Amino acid sequence: MDEKNNCEKATFIVDIKNRENHSWQGTLTWVDTNKEICFRSALELIKIIDSTMPGDEND
């Protein structure tokens, strides 16, 4: 129960440009690298954020 969380942290800026088809479209800026990525849905946004985190690639 006393395990330390060894996850690296990242900061993102999410800019929602539109809300169409019951989802979000916009840009995600990764503050650490200043990399900007466009997304077309909330699910795609989550997948992009998840892909930046180190971890098991078999998930």
Which pLDDT score, from 0 to 100, does residue 28 have? 97
pLDDT above 50 (res 7): yes
Confidence band (pLDDT; 50, 70, 90) for 22? confident
What is the DSSP secondary structure assignment for residue 32, as one 8-state letter? T
What is the DSSP secondary structure assignment for residue 40, as one 8-state letter? S
Rounded to two decimals, what is the model's pTM?
0.73
What is the DSSP secondary structure assignment for residue 41, as one 8-state letter? S
CA distance 31 to 38: 15
pLDDT above 50 (res 1): no
Which position has the higher pLDDT, 15 or 1? 15
Q: Which residue is associated with the tokens 């019951």?
A: 22
Question: Residue 38's closest CA among 24, 52, 51, 50?
Answer: 24
